[in-house]
Amino acid sequence: MATIANTVNKKWLAVDLFSGSGAVTTGLKQEGFEVVAAIDSDQVACKTYSLNHPEVKLLTEDITKSNPMDVHAVLDGRVLDLLVVCAPCQPFSSQNRKRAESDPRVELIFECVKFAKLLNPTVIFFENVPGIVNAGLLDLLEGQLKKFGYKLSAPLKIDAATLGVPQRRERCILIASKSNGVVESFGLALRPVKPKTVRDAIGFLPSLCSGEESLDPLHKARKHHSITLERLKHIPKDGGSRSSLPTHLQLSCHKNKKNDFPDVYGRMRWSDVAPTLTTGCTDLTRGRFVHPEDDRALSLREASLLQTFPRDYIFYGNSGQVARQIGNAVPVEMARHLAAHLKDLTTTHVLN
């Protein structure tokens, strides 16, 4: 058995595969982990990552070409406690009409095996969308990891809202470890925490009109067309939807189709959690992404706060690129919460 943290005071070490803009790394650091290395192929997300986490060895490369020896060198003989694997979820997402088998990104999750083989992490943590369970690849993953002594836990479906994230976001999480105790106890001690609301997350930010900017460059409202502003005036504050639009303001594609995409043009509700933020989270035609009171779509800062990024997180890129990084992120608070759970599990089952 790999000896994880040899003393309780030791720094917990992690490697973040598919690190994106660094949400998981932020959660791990908040929980006291030292993230020694991270890998992602997206140059823009990597720029964001390095602006916020300059101390981490970041490899901006296609993971299929990565050499685990590069990460091994950074570890410099230290035991790796946690290998994080947040492979792209688009191939398994219910919104993706493309069949999973025809999307080459399906295979990316298996890239973790070469890292597990060389780095021997105590726990491997996977996060993805629930659709991954039906994609028929978890058995294959289990088979590949088993060759190196790892057991895969049962997948656990979890809503980020139950872990203190002000957002409904159903995810599938699972772990692999060489310790039976760790694998069998995974998730058992996770208890829902008091829900956080949209008001808790963004209620303190200054109100904005369409097109208005604030001192924070990310808290800036999109400029809407006059017809869009006219529509927004008719959407009731605090949770209203496009079903309140008078006939002359309804979009022709929505006429007589109240049940098709009912969230489009919908407002968030102050006292509720937000809906799942996607890469279109600042576009009111892509979901319930209208501010609860202001007549405008969410700002990028509001979207990042609903994903529980720190208030001062720096994002690199144009507004579309930043929205993509935010929508693709694992909520920071979810990552932090799960990191704490994994620390408890390994302390109980590996250290003792």
Ligand X SMILES: C[S@@+](CC[C@H](N)C(=O)[O-])C[C@H]1O[C@@H](n2cnc3c(N)ncnc32)[C@H](O)[C@@H]1O
In sequence order, the β-bridge partners of residue 174 are 126
**Contact flag: residue 152 with ligand X (CB under 6 A):** no
Mark the segment that binds ligand X (CB under 6 A) among 17-25, 161-169, 255-263, 308-316: 17-25
For residues 271 to 310, the per-residue mask of contacts with ligand X, x marking binding by CB under 6 A and - elsewhere, is: ----------------------------------------
Is the distance from CB of 231 to CB of 319 less than 8 angstroms? no
> Contacting ligand X (CB under 6 A), which of 64, 180, 271, 285?
64
DSSP 327-349: HHSPPHHHHHHHHHHHHHHHIII
Positions in 161-190 near ligand X (CB under 6 A): none
Least CB distance from residue 128 to ligand X, whole Å? 8
> Contacting ligand X (CB under 6 A), which of 4, 35, 58, 63?
63
Structure tokens at 302: 């509001």
Least CB distance from residue 4 to ligand X, whole Å? 22
| Whole-angstrom distance, CA of residue 239 vs CA of residue 260 | 18
Structure tokens at 208: 């904005």
CA triplet 170, 174, 176: central angle to 5 degrees? 170
| Whole-angstrom distance, CA of residue 130 vs CA of residue 154 | 12
Counting DSSP H helices and E strands in the chain, the numbers are 11, 8
Least CB distance from residue 259 to ligand X, whole Å? 30
Mark the segment that binds ligand X (CB under 6 A) among 144-152, 203-211, 280-288, 325-333: 325-333
**Contact flag: residue 158 with ligand X (CB under 6 A):** no
**Contact flag: residue 37 with ligand X (CB under 6 A):** no
Task: Return phi, psi of residue 114, to 5°.
Answer: -65, -30
**Contact flag: residue 100 with ligand X (CB under 6 A):** no
Count the residues of the shown chain that bind ligand X, applying the rule CB under 6 A: 21
Mark the segment that binds ligand X (CB under 6 A) among 5-13, 59-67, 157-165, 194-202: 59-67
- For the question of residue 112 being annotated catalytic, the response is no
> Contacting ligand X (CB under 6 A), which of 250, 304, 328, 346?
328
> Contacting ligand X (CB under 6 A), which of 4, 13, 89, 183?
89
The set of residues, in sequence order, having a beta carbon less than 8 Å from that of 120 and lying 6+ positions away, is: 2, 79, 80
- DSSP annotation of 178 reads S
> Contacting ligand X (CB under 6 A), which of 4, 45, 82, 152?
45
Is the distance from CB of 187 to CB of 200 less than 8 angstroms? no
From the list 46, 86, 89, 281, the catalytic residue is 89
Least CB distance from residue 224 to ligand X, whole Å? 28
Least CB distance from residue 52 to ligand X, whole Å? 11
Residue type, 229: L
Q: 323-327 — which CB contacts under 8 Å span 24+ positions? A: 323/279, 323/280, 323/281, 323/282, 323/283, 324/279, 325/20, 325/21, 325/44, 325/45, 325/48, 326/21, 326/277, 326/279, 326/281, 326/300, 327/277, 327/278, 327/279, 327/280, 327/281, 327/303
| CB of 38 or CB of 208, closer to ligand X | 38
Residue closest to ligand X when measured from CB atoms: 20
For residues 204 to 243, the per-residue mask of contacts with ligand X, x marking binding by CB under 6 A and - elsewhere, is: ----------------------------------------
Residue type, 145: L
| Binding residues vs ligand X (CB under 6 A) | 18-21, 23-24, 39-42, 45, 62-64, 86, 88-89, 108, 328-330
Active site residues: 89
